[in-house]
Chains A and B, each alone.
Chain A
């Protein structure tokens, strides 16, 4: 994901701002990392350049 995506995404649970922690990035994009809600503390993974912003209960269902 491009860092500019931060301007349009929020926590799906409470719509609060997310904080970005970058584990891996190239010149253009964040490839791996974590998005953390500044309000409820829920975390959302970024893997292979794609943030998974499903609420936690749906995330587990979708992985099955």
Chain B
């Protein structure tokens, strides 16, 4: 393979990846702001997508950041940004007490099951009928991977049901405080810091 051919392949691959990977938006900006302020120690970003948030935390705080995503195209984009990337289902391949900071901007849009798109972008956006289909298993397992004294930074949209998410947080044994909050025409986005109660 010549250098030209490999560069062409790379460009084509990046074009494909962009089409099927969630790109940074308002929610990403808000989570990055909170994570840059609060992150410490060893950091995991679950559902890292393009890796933009993880890369900002790594560069602005000089921390060791791992980015995981179900979508292999996303893992490639995150790696291209210099993030240590892993293809994973939520927290399943991470050890107990492994991380001091865990960040998550979950797929949170409530979706009619008949209108689900069954592709990578749907995985990045849809939180199932309730909007909380990924938030529930995440909260049920995140205490396991969190080191003593660790913090979880979770982005919550008003579309997902703020009070319902707070109830799940309490059930999982965490206290919460608001780190940043911003209102948009159709939703309010909040980043919560969760610490063991």
Contact = CB atoms under 8 A, between A and B. Distances in A.
Given A8-B42, A54-B89, A15 B79 contact: no
B87 A54 contact: yes
Contacts of B85: 1, 49-50
Interface residues of A, number: 21
B42, B64, B71, B93, most chain A CB atoms within 10 A: B93
A55 B95 contact: no
A50 B93 contact: no
Given A1-B86, A50-B85, A53-B87, A62 B72 contact: yes
Nearest to A48: B76
A4 B92 CA distance: 18
A25 to B, nearest CB: 15
B98 interface: yes
Contacts of A41: none
A41 B64 CA distance: 29
Contacts of A53: 86-88, 92-93
Contact of B79 (A5, A12, A49): A49
Interface of A: 1-2, 4-5, 7-12, 15, 48-55, 58, 62
Given A5-B84, A9-B94, 10 more contacts: A7-B95, A7-B98, A8-B98, A9-B95, A12-B89, A50-B86, A51-B87, A54-B70, A58-B70, A62-B70
